[in-house]
A and B are shown apart, each in its own frame.
Chain A
Amino acid sequence: MSQVADVQRERADDSSYDGLRIRELTKSYGVFTAVQHLDLDIPRGSFIALLGPSGCGKTTTLRMVAGLETPTSGSITLAGEDITFAKPYKRPVNTVFQNYALFPHLDIFENVAFGLKRRKVKDVEQQVRDMLDLVELGSQTRKKPAQLSGGQQQRVALARALINRPEVLLLDEPLGALDLKLRRSMQIEIKRIQVEVGLTFVHVTHDQEEAMTMADTVAVMNAGVIEQLGAPAELYENPRSTFVANFLGQSNLIEGTVLGRSADVTTVDMHGIQVSVPTERTHTDGDKGWIGIRPEKVLIGEVGEELDAPGNTIPGGVVSDVSFNGVSTQYLVRMPWGQELQVFQQNTGRVRLFRSGEPVELSWRPEYAFLLDFSQDASAGAQKGDD
């Protein structure tokens, strides 16, 4: 499953690559393997998010790049230099820690100046002032970390790492401790700073929305491997595995049997209804597969109604649950084969709301559907309502 795209893209010499390159990286703790044969290329100046549930190996990967964990095997090269076993204090890599890890005995100024002073850089005073202005903390320099709010501490942690102008800035769940509203504004803030300074950012998070909002590239990790890597929209629209389909947003996954494959479409029998899936969205070679469709791509209409979705129409549904959210309405529709499908409908005012128990027809445009391997668990990566 891992990294087909990258392996194809280049086989260039490691020493000429100026970004962060991870090859065959593995970390085991006794019998438990946290990270397995991970390959990843992060071009200079990009913003990549490692996204996955807790325990998927994303933080371990980050700590190996920072030098805080020693890899069991594999290599890490940064700007052409092998840093696999370099000491953390000798790597041009800085980290924003999960709970910030600000030095409680030093004030904000000294915290931010820490890295510069250790490297005996000149003109510390001016650089620290500029950096604190960048994160809008210019007036708080002599306060201790404990006197600041969570959001301010977060910005100090960011400033303390950024001021060293590292080749790669690592962010380990940096917004996890903030409340929702602050998290949203910090996401935009961090993105702004990244564009402004132009450094490579590697962001670890379990929050799919955060990953998609901030990063140019998202790597979805599960059980120590990267399941899929790509731009947020690409991952969301065309997931390659059930894990990505469920972890990144929500998906309806319906069992189907492949009837035929042609140059552009795969025809699938879905409980007696023939549906088609584009070939570039077909990710299985087997006879059976999971037909996937995002809830917001499913249209709901009255029996016999003409819907704006030529192709796949599925009759015989009964609305079993309706929840009205203001912007949209979420339906659960029980299908003739017993499965409940999710449907999100925008409340544009053009269509009426259905009530529980009403018979309906569903349809979707074939180009939105995707077909996944049947051997995968259809509930892999599904959020259990705790997010």
Chain B
Amino acid sequence: MTSTAGVAPVAAADVRADTGRRRGRTGYLLLLPAFLTLLLFFVLPFYSLVATSLYDPSGSDIEGYSMTYHVANYWDALQEFWRPLLRSLWYGAIATVICLVLGYVLAYAMAFKAGRWKYLLLVLVIAPFFTSFLVRTLSWKLILADDGYVVDLLQFLHILGEDGRLLATPVAVVAGLVYNFLPFMILPLFASLDRIDHRLVEASSDLYASPFVGFFKVTWPLSLPGVVSGTLLTFIPAVGDYINQVLLGSPNQRMIGSVIQSQFVDANNYPSAASLSTMLMLLILAMVLVYIRRAGTEELL
């Protein structure tokens, strides 16, 4: 073992000296498809979005738009739509926290307690993706309907008033968000919990840590990479989501996603929609960067 390890670098260095140049060129050639894909599907749309957000707002489909660096678009959009923007961040945050609690419990059970049922449970977590996102959200409309079992039960228990309802309330919107993004939380959590060597937990218990202390000193810190990626994968799409609000909420729960959608599609106000999109993107980016810095897990991403 040791003797081969000593010899190998010398041989590798010889080869590199011979073919270094050609290999470099091949490397770039092989990167080309990835460069093109990024250019086509990321750089160009992003450029187009930013450009649109700076269009002269007086343009129309008929007259055409001109790019005038009209930065005031941002200010106007913010003044008009700051409520849905904040609400989106708020709903996204609540949904993420609920997902984290539910997802952690499930992922923990799957990784440590499920034994041979582990992979069946994993399939069940993924199974909802086999049906459309829209259909599943619409069926939540039936579950939470005014004369449905859930509302009846809650009214019976006097948690909801006589004419209380769940649909068209923040509860329904957040519940929909939690439901739809839960798998995105569970999968990374499961991946990082499943990787934890069970002997570490045994070692902590051997070293006088009760199960409770052992969890917070060993299991939780080792699952942090999963927690960080799970919360990001949940929070980012949840903030931009509009289906749940449209199907389960009312205009009172309007989220930024549906504002952008209606600005683009119904109002034909492209500059406003584009500037909202750009702002949402920058806002999430800033929050994610702060979050990762705080979690101290830069090297894990």
Contacts and interface: CB of A to CB of B under 8 A. Distances in A.
Contacts of A97: 199, 202-203
A179 B197 CA distance: 23
B200 A68 contact: no
A347 B63 CA distance: 106
B14 interface: no
B208 A119 contact: yes
B218 A103 contact: yes
Interface string B213-252: 1100110011000000000000000000000000000000
A24 to B, nearest CB: 25
Contacts, number: 60
Nearest to B210: A89
B200 A103 contact: yes
A101 B209 contact: no
Interface in A144-168: 160-161, 164
A115 interface: yes
Nearest to B222: A105
A99 B203 CA distance: 11
Contacts of A66: 206
B206 A88 contact: yes
A68 B210 CA distance: 13
B207 interface: yes
A114 interface: yes
Contacts of B222: 104-105
B199 A99 contact: yes
Contact of B205 (A88, A103, A160, A164): A88
Contact of B203 (A93, A95, A164, A179): A95
Contacts of B205: 67-68, 87-89
A94 interface: yes
Interface in B119-158: none
A384 interface: no
Contacts of B206: 66-68, 88-89, 93-95, 161
Interface in A91-111: 93-95, 97-99, 101-105
B203 A103 contact: yes
Contacts of B1: 179
B66 interface: no
Contacts of A101: 197, 199-200, 202-203
B213 to A, nearest CB: 6
B207 A160 contact: yes
A348 B57 CA distance: 104
Identify which of B205, B206, B217, B218 gathers the most chain A CB atoms within 10 Å of its CB.
Answer: B206
Given A103-B218, A104-B222, A114 B204 contact: yes
Contacts of A119: 208
B202 A89 contact: no
A118 interface: yes
Contacts of A102: 203
Interface string A255-275: 000000000000000000000
Contacts of A118: 207-209, 213
A94 B199 contact: no
Contact of B208 (A95, A103, A115, A179): A115
Contact of A114 (B197, B207, B210): B207
B260 to A, nearest CB: 41
A144 to B, nearest CB: 12
A328 to B, nearest CB: 27
A97 B203 CA distance: 8
A105 B221 contact: yes
A94 B199 CA distance: 13
A97 B200 CA distance: 9
Identify which of A98, A118, A119 gathers the most chain B CB atoms within 10 Å of its CB.
Answer: A118
A236 B199 CA distance: 35
A102 B213 CA distance: 17
A137 B209 CA distance: 25
B271 to A, nearest CB: 48
Nearest to A110: B217
A68 B202 contact: yes
Interface string A10-44: 00000000000000000000000000000000000
Nearest to A105: B221
A129 B160 CA distance: 61
B222 to A, nearest CB: 6
Nearest to B221: A105
A179 B200 CA distance: 24
Contacts of A88: 202, 205-206
Nearest to B207: A115
Contact of A94 (B207, B209, B217, B221): B207
Interface of A: 66-68, 87-90, 93-95, 97-99, 101-105, 114-115, 118-119, 160-161, 164, 179
Q: Top 7 closest A-B pairs, CB basis?
A: A115-B207, A118-B208, A101-B203, A101-B199, A88-B205, A105-B221, A95-B206
8 contacts: A89-B207, A89-B208, A90-B208, A94-B206, A98-B199, A99-B199, A105-B221, A114-B204
Given A87-B205, A118-B207, A118-B213, 19 more contacts: A68-B205, A89-B207, A89-B209, A93-B206, A94-B206, A94-B207, A95-B206, A97-B199, A97-B202, A101-B197, A103-B203, A104-B222, A105-B221, A105-B222, A114-B209, A118-B208, A118-B209, A164-B207, A179-B1
